[in-house]
Structure 1
């Protein structure tokens, strides 16, 4: 194993100078620093993790708590992009990530907080969980640095997609195409759903459009079966909608199947729009109109905020970080038939 002494000997400098160069100190010359860092790389030097932990009192390991209700895990087509961005950003700052689970300790399940402490995580990011669960509340209220994604606690940093603004953009877009009979199949109750639903109602109201109660339906996120059933019910109304908004792009597939079974064409007979901007929408025919969330920015911002909280706890602001998305215009929304 290459040591600091080996690098110092190869560069003709002191061990102290090598240490300062590798830790990016400013009290040595730029040329010397670059030469030492280049030599360390060529010699295959890697800092000893245990020694670094003793020196900094940090493990450089971040816990990820991610529990998808549909048990899709890392195949989840929205959060897999968010978590990949989080991972890449954390690794660029020298951190590893480990997923949190209910491991066992003394013949019983550990809580999430116990697991975080057992692994000695420097911090934890929480995404796609039931945030009202007691174990989640316990972890959030602990002394472990935490950042949440798409849920706001008063005392924690949150990274939030602009759900209010996103739904406003999407609803205004379909109104701009001439639609007045707009249905919305929203997700199951959550902070995200509440924000989008309120924004939907408010945007219609601002444009003088009334929405019948039967136009607003509920289906689980990513459930093609439920959106299929709700879409069939909408199409059987005496006055069916001319446009249907779906809880997410993946669930939209179920609605499209129901529409085509009915012998209707998209967008000639009825328009549809999704939410998220996942890749599958780009391959639909016609290409799906959707509110594309900035998944890379959500993940990267969560990592940067958590690392700031770990490394600079006294100066990092505890506040929500709102990430704006944009309407991605496909071919699934057109003017309604007169």
Structure 2
């Protein structure tokens, strides 16, 4: 009897972004040539003040980039709380990055149950049902089902027939692991060097930008900074961050691009906008991105020392 395909289902719950994907691994085919059958991504803000947005369609757009051609759904997602909502702590975390680091440390050291609440498209459910039937996972009489749980980095390594360096740049942490795919049938994935993670994820870049923007607003307003509507400023900074994320690094560093931050006063008196120069934004973000580059090179060198050759790199 021919070996049935293997069903791979992936759920990635991140600090700021999560995803659900699945694929059928048909034995005898090159794993790296099998396109995912379906991919749905969801995105929510870190404060949970607005519903997350989910889109499913032919492209990889999601969140605020979901187009009218996509099916658009909304749902609530567990989110980090604001420091002001926490009970008194003798040693409170430092701002939102501190909250992220504290929460991830607790998840790593304590048992916890995690659930993903979402509404799936009928087409997605139908495709997944067909994949389940083809895999034979429910055919207990003819082909007993087995379930193996592996980490997402190991799953990414299964698509490369070589030693591979997995760079998982998440919302809270950047994790780097190196694996070697020993065999596909049965699937055997061996760790090449010990995995390592650092708290240099997207939330820390966002915090750096937030601090920079507030400093510029304070410098711009001078002694009148106390009259600034802080709630409106926070909203404006969040909108600026959404824009900055879509600006290529080559444009930021060119020296001609700027973002003008709208300033609103509590007394509604007019106030000129504050300029956030692109090259200053790039310099601010490099305090984090340079750490990611240094971390990646360090792990790649460790793999080269261990195996004698440079690994392939797979961004996650």
TM-score (norm 2): 0.26
Q: Larger relative CO (CA 8 A, sep 6+): 1 or 2?
A: 1
TM-score normalised according to structure 1 size: 0.25
- Higher strand proportion: 2
> Which of these two proteins has the greater Rg computed from alpha carbons?
1
